[in-house]
């Protein structure tokens, strides 16, 4: 199996980035991925959409994605081309939504503490390693429990339940 490598520049945020900030409710009258992408992170960082490039990675502190159950939040992040989110911890509904829709998320306190905004990093999803290209430094994230790996390998929850 080929290793999945994700590479991009970092957009860094603090703790408790909530789903209202990721995608405000005024855009919840649509499920169109392109529209949701256009407003991603709008209420926390209005320049995010302008600055982000395909493959870029969001890095945040505690409790990323807290608040509502709206799947529109991870969808907007994935649809704008963000390849992964790294945090100390994730809010639980955001966590399961990301697994279910196939947005890679990693927990690593060591990586979050060290990585600065704008640095270039590379993630090896199979190994769970995060390589900081700017700093030439490698961090390890926790690997997912086997049950979740099954969902991820199947390509999302609905593919998993078909089996």
Partner 1 sequence: MGSTISEKILAVHCRKKTVEPGEFIEPKVDTALINDVTAPLAIKEFRKSEAKKVFDKNKITLVMDHFTPNKDILSAEHVKLAREFAKEHKIKHYFEGGNVGVEHAILPEKGIALPGDIIIGADSHTCTYGALGAFSTGVGSTDIAATMITGKIWFKVPNSIKFILKGKLNKWVSGKDIILYIISLIGVDGALYNSMEFAGPICKKLNMADRFTIANMAIEAGGKNGIFTPDEITEKYVIKKAIRKYKFYESDKDAIYLKTYEIDCSKILPQVALPFLPSNAKAVKDIKKTYIDQVVIGSCTNGRIEDLRIAASVIKKGKKINPNVRAIIIPATPATYSQALKERLLKIFIDAGSIVSAPTCGPCLGGHMGILASGEKCVSTTNRNFIGRMGHVQSQVFLANPAVAAASAIKGYIATPDEIK
Q: Taken in order 86, 116, 4, 78, is the CA torsion positive or negative? A: positive
Does 158 bind partner 1 (CB under 8 A)? Our answer is yes
Contact (Cβ atoms closer than 8 angstroms) between residue 132 and residue 115: yes
Q: Which two tokens stand for residue 23?
A: 């995608």
Q: How far is the CB of 159 from partner 1 (least distance, A)?
A: 9
**How far apart, in whole angstroms, are the C-alpha atoms of residue 36 and residue 145?**
30
Task: Rule CB under 8 A: choose which of 4, 14, 30, 117 binds partner 1.
Answer: 30
Q: Which two tokens stand for residue 67?
A: 């608040």
Task: Rule CB under 8 A: choose which of 2, 29, 54, 163 binds partner 1.
Answer: 29
Q: Is 113 buried (19+), middle (13-18) or exposed (0-12) by CB count in 10 A? A: exposed
Q: How far is the CB of 141 from partner 1 (least distance, A)?
A: 17
Residues 41-100 that bind partner 1 (CB under 8 A): 43-44, 62-63, 66-72, 75, 89, 91-93, 96-97, 100
**Positions in the binding site for partner 1 (CB under 8 A):** 15-16, 18, 20-21, 24-26, 28-31, 43-44, 62-63, 66-72, 75, 89, 91-93, 96-97, 100-101, 145, 147, 151, 156-158, 161-162
């Amino acid at each position: 199996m080929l290793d999945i490598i994700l590479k991009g520049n970092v957009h860094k945020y603090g703790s408790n980035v909530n789903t209202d900030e990721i995608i405000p409710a005024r855009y919840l009258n649509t499920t169109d991925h392109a529209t949701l992408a256009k407003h991603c992170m709008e209420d926390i960082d209005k320049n995010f959409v302008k600055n982000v490039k395909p493959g870029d990675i969001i890095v945040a502190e505690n409790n990323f994605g807290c608040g509502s159950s709206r799947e529109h939040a991870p969808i907007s992040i994935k649809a704008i081309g963000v390849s992964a989110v790294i945090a100390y911890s994730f809010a639980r509904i955001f966590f399961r939504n990301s697994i279910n829709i196939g947005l890679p998320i990693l927990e690593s306190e060591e990586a979050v503490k060290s990585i600065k905004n704008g640095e270039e990093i590379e993630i090896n999803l199979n190994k769970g390693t995060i390589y900081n290209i700017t700093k030439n430094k490698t961090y390890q994230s926790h690997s997912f429990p086997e049950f979740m790996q099954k969902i991820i390998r199947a390509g999302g929850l609905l593919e998993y339940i078909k089996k």
